[in-house]
Amino acid sequence: MQVTSSKELDIGESILDVEGLSVVRSGNLIISDIDLKIRRGEFVGIVGPNGSGKTTLLLSILGILKPNSGIIRIYGCEPMCKSNDGRVSWVSQAASNLPRNLRLTVRELVKLGTISSRNMFSLRSNDEIVNKAIEMVDLKDVANTDIGRLSGGQRQRAVIARALASQADFIILDEPLVGIDREARSSLLKLLDVLCHESEKTILMVSHDLAAIRQTAHRMIYLEGSIKFDGETSKFPKLTELAELRGIKPVHDDSHGHQD
């Protein structure tokens, strides 16, 4: 299987540059030899089995985990450098599982996203930013409702609105589709796609939902300790080819192009 790069997708300036990244956790090598370049406006999906290092990669990009080797540059400097303050936003795995007893309205939750030194110098008022973010995720009607009373899909949208309110240009999402129904899932993916195309956001999203993510991401990465595939979504390998990449001989013949 040929590993393609994003070089031919000349969408915009480089937002993320990762070269030769390896990360060790508790003495175990979790990810290695990661080379990854993401440009402005790209929507990149990451898939891979449980424990394959997807969250580890995201946490390294965010600067939470320190690389064992290799370099990571976001907007040309280290992940947590001063000039990147407020430029990157993270929606964590199970972020919408907010505690039921947390008495916050959607508007209050979204407003929490505006706490960043970058926004303190913003000319637009926080209220304007918060209203716009709520509008973008289509939660205007429930803006003053307690988040505990929302559906899973609505809560996920509220968490994304919080990320939008931070005015970050680079949004990193870890499994945002878990626990929400098919309809909410597809409208969430549509929203993320609109953010890329109309608001020039750059999105890096981990998901187990291969079928859903393939409908929207421009580019897909298959990660299993290292990057086994990186290329256009239309070229993402079939299940048999994936098995080959993983060194597994498939039990069933999948040569008729069936995908899960």
Ligand X SMILES: Nc1ncnc2c1ncn2[C@@H]1O[C@H](COP(=O)(O)OP(=O)(O)OP(=O)(O)O)[C@@H](O)[C@H]1O
Judged by the rule CB under 5 A, the positions of this chain that interact with Mg ion are 54-55
Q: Which of 41, 53, 79, 237 binds ligand X (CB under 6 A)?
A: 53
Distance, in Å, from the CA atom of 113 to the CA atom of 104, rounded to the nearest integer, reads 13
- Picked from Mg ion, ligand X, none, the partner binding residue 51 (CB below 5 to 8 A depending on kind) is ligand X
- Picked from ligand X, Mg ion, none, the partner binding residue 30 (CB below 5 to 8 A depending on kind) is ligand X
Distance, in Å, from the CA atom of 19 to the CA atom of 92, rounded to the nearest integer, reads 24
Q: Which of 38, 42, 44, 54 binds ligand X (CB under 6 A)?
A: 54
Binding piece for ligand X, criterion CB under 6 A, among 6-14, 50-58, 132-140, 152-160: 50-58
Q: Do 80 and 93 touch, CB atoms closer than 8 A? A: no
- Picked from ligand X, Mg ion, none, the partner binding residue 153 (CB below 5 to 8 A depending on kind) is none
Q: Do 205 and 173 touch, CB atoms closer than 8 A? A: yes
DSSP 8-class letter at 146: B
**Closest to 169 in 3D by CA, of 247, 57, 75:** 75
Residues 3-32, interacting with ligand X (CB under 6 A): 25-26, 30
CB of 56 to Mg ion, least distance (A): 8
Residue 234 as a binder of ligand X (CB under 6 A): the answer is: no
CB of 63 to Mg ion, least distance (A): 17
Which residues, including other chains, have CB under 8 Å from residue 99's CB and lie 6 or more apart? Answer: none
**Closest to 208 in 3D by CA, of 50, 43, 44:** 50
Residue 162 as a binder of ligand X (CB under 6 A): the answer is: no
Distance, in Å, from the CA atom of 99 to the CA atom of 102, rounded to the nearest integer, reads 5
CB of 223 to ligand X, least distance (A): 7
Q: Which residues bind ligand X (CB under 6 A)?
A: 25-26, 30, 48, 50-56
